[in-house]
Amino acid sequence: MAFQIAPRPLNPIPSKRPQKRKGYLSWIHTLPCVVTGQSTVQAAHVSFASPWHGHYGRGKGTKAPDRFALPLCEAEHTRQHSMNETAYWSSVGINPHELANTLFGLWSDYEEYEATERATSRILSGLAANDRLPSRDTL
């Protein structure tokens, strides 16, 4: 007699929203913009789902979880909201879910000072890899 495993959905949607992590969005505001490197930023939530990265989208009338917030300067944040979000992130050469998970992991794993240093280094490395590292004069 053979046993059959009942099929399950590949990415079941969680039944409750993630909890807010006190201080995370404040910490995001201390980092440079992931697109321009500018130092004055807003917390930009990534809205589109990526179950592979643990992001199931947002409910109607709600924001995406804070874990999927990235630091963007005001101009880029406005641009992110003014077009198809998947197209926006593709146009700037960033996988927002991977970067958001990296930043959240650094914030979760290290003391704030070290997390800030490591996150800033990661952001600036990404800017350099995409040939967008600003000069000191433009910051």
pTM for the predicted model, two decimal places = 0.80
* Residue 133: CB atoms within 10 Å: 13
DSSP, residue by residue, 84-136: -HHHHHHHTT--HHHHHHHHHHHHHHS-HHHHHHHHHHHHHHHHHHTT-PPPG
Q: Where are the domains of the chain?
A: 24-133
Residues 42, 86: Cα–Cα separation, whole Å: 19
pLDDT at 111 over 60: yes
Percentage of the chain lying above the pLDDT 90 cut? 60
56 CB contacts (<8 Å, ≥6 apart)? 11, 13, 14, 49
> pLDDT per residue over 11-56, tens digit each?
555 555 656 677 999 999 999 999 999 999 999 999 877 777 767 6
- Residue pair 113/97 in contact (Cβ under 8 Å)? The answer is no
Q: Where does residue 41 rank: exposed (0-12), middle (13-18), buried (19+ CB within 10 A)?
A: buried
pLDDT at 94 over 60: yes
